[in-house]
Amino acid sequence: MPIDFKKELETAARNMIFVHDPDLLIKIIVRMMLDKIKVEHASILLYKPERQAYVLTVSGGSLAKKIPVGLACFDKDDSLIRFFRERDNRLLFNSEVLTLENALSASKSSQTKERLRHLLGDVLYQVRLLETVACVPSYYRDELLGILLLGKKKDGSRFNGRELDFFVALASNMSMAIRNANLFRELKSELDKKHQLFMRTTIALVAAIEAKDNYTHGHTTRVTNLSIEIAKKLAQKNRKSIDSRFIESLHIASLLHDIGKIGVPEQILNKRSSLTLGERNKIKEHPMIGVTILKPIKELEHSLAGIKYHHERPDGRGYPDGLKGDQIPLIASIISVADSFDAMTSDRPYRSALYKNDAIKEIKKYNHLQFNPRVTEAFLELAQEGKF
């Protein structure tokens, strides 16, 4: 039965989201290569900042018996590493993938520049030493995070185009997952240090979200600023319910309210036409994905309600739990108003932004139905005062 590569890619991406240990992540990816594609071995050269080198991590297959995990490492000037860091793979093959067959052909071609022929000679030596027939780089933006090394297929056949495309897509997902795993690890450690350092790491996570969604750049910052202004206005009326701890929890919750979008496919987030029902339901999963990601971090427990419930509505037509009225935590109600206002006043691929006054009218119109009356009142007072 042929492999459903799209389904396998979605499953892999979904599993990657919840793994915060880069080494465990690599083992999962390599194990999938061995199980699904049936290669003799699969391994990854992964960049280790503490060693300033790319370290060979072998998780299974024949090569694992010859090269112990962590023994082989390649510095940034190594031929194989330099070949991918300088993007010579695209120049030569018009592809991310280097196959043994294409490398041999290019090394003998008179059209290949002399510099690249010499470099390919060194690369081919290393590739053969590692018993590799395909190399797939993994980049985060322009930074080479690692290289997926694949041995021969057990049935002796060549890798076909669909398989190579799958490897490229998997490597792309892997780079984001490794980057996020490192960010989450940093986030957890920074909670024990100064608050300022913790907030910087949180903002780095926000950048990871916005890097994935082209149309929400700056959205998180604006929602956070407006949420805090609303909370301060509410505090003027009732300081008992809005204290410094609440403001801090709100600050973090509003920064991370869309963190779960890491688990939503980019083609849905950046789709220019109207979403299908299935795609809308996929996006509706992001609050629960966000909670699942952040729940292990105990210090964030007071912010989770804002992340989980910021799409709930007083009329009970929100998600994920269909809460009504006062069942919805105040922290979530504040983010809901700020999030909705910014969404309405920002251009999206499927519609143009509303004028600010029209968006304010919409918030007022859906008071009691979509928005908490206390929060709406504070929002409207800020609008009258020209605070945003």
Write out pLDDT tens, residues 61-94.
666 666 666 677 899 999 999 999 888 777 777 7
CA atoms in the 13 A half-sphere facing the CB of 49: 5
Tell me, what's the pLDDT at 115?
86
Q: Quote the radius of gyration of the chain (alpha carbons, Å).
A: 25
**What element of type H or E holds 349?**
none
Q: Among the listed ranges 5-14, 86-95, 248-257, 317-326, which one has the minimum average pLDDT value? A: 5-14
pLDDT band of residue 214 (cuts 50, 70, 90) is: low
pLDDT reading at 383 higher than 90? yes
Tell me, what's the pLDDT at 328?
97
pLDDT reading at 224 higher than 90? yes
pLDDT band of residue 249 (cuts 50, 70, 90) is: very high
pLDDT band of residue 5 (cuts 50, 70, 90) is: low
Of the candidates 50, 52, 59, 54, which has an alpha carbon nearest to the alpha carbon of residue 73? 54
pLDDT reading at 2 higher than 70? no
Range with the largest mean pLDDT of 119-128, 162-171, 227-236: 227-236
pLDDT reading at 301 higher than 80? yes
Helix segments in 238-372, DSSP class H: 244-255, 266-269, 277-283, 286-294, 304-309, 330-344, 356-365
| Domain boundaries 191-384, corresponding CATH code | 1.10.3210.10
Give the other-Cβ count within 10 Å of 35's Cβ.
11
- What CA–CA distance (Å, rounded) separates 373 from 367? 6
pLDDT reading at 246 higher than 90? yes
Distant-in-sequence, close-in-space partners of 328: CB < 8 Å, separation ≥ 6: 309, 312, 313, 314, 318, 372
b/e 366-377 (16+ beta carbons within 10 angstroms → b): bbeebbbebbbb
pLDDT band of residue 59 (cuts 50, 70, 90) is: low
Q: Which residue has the higher pLDDT, 384 or 262?
A: 384
Tell me, what's the pLDDT at 387?
85
| Residue range(s) occupied by CATH 1.10.3210.10 in the chain | 191-384
| Residue range(s) occupied by CATH 3.30.450.40 in the chain | 5-179
pLDDT band of residue 4 (cuts 50, 70, 90) is: low
Query: Over the chain, what is the mean pLDDT?
Result: 84
Contact 303, 360 (CB under 8 A): no
- Burial category of 80 from C-beta neighbours within 10 Å (exposed 0-12, middle 13-18, buried 19 and up): buried
Q: Which CATH superfamily is domain 5-179 in?
A: GAF domain (3.30.450.40)
- What CA–CA distance (Å, rounded) separates 383 from 226? 11
**What element of type H or E holds 74?**
strand 73-74
- What CA–CA distance (Å, rounded) separates 106 from 103? 5
pLDDT band of residue 216 (cuts 50, 70, 90) is: low
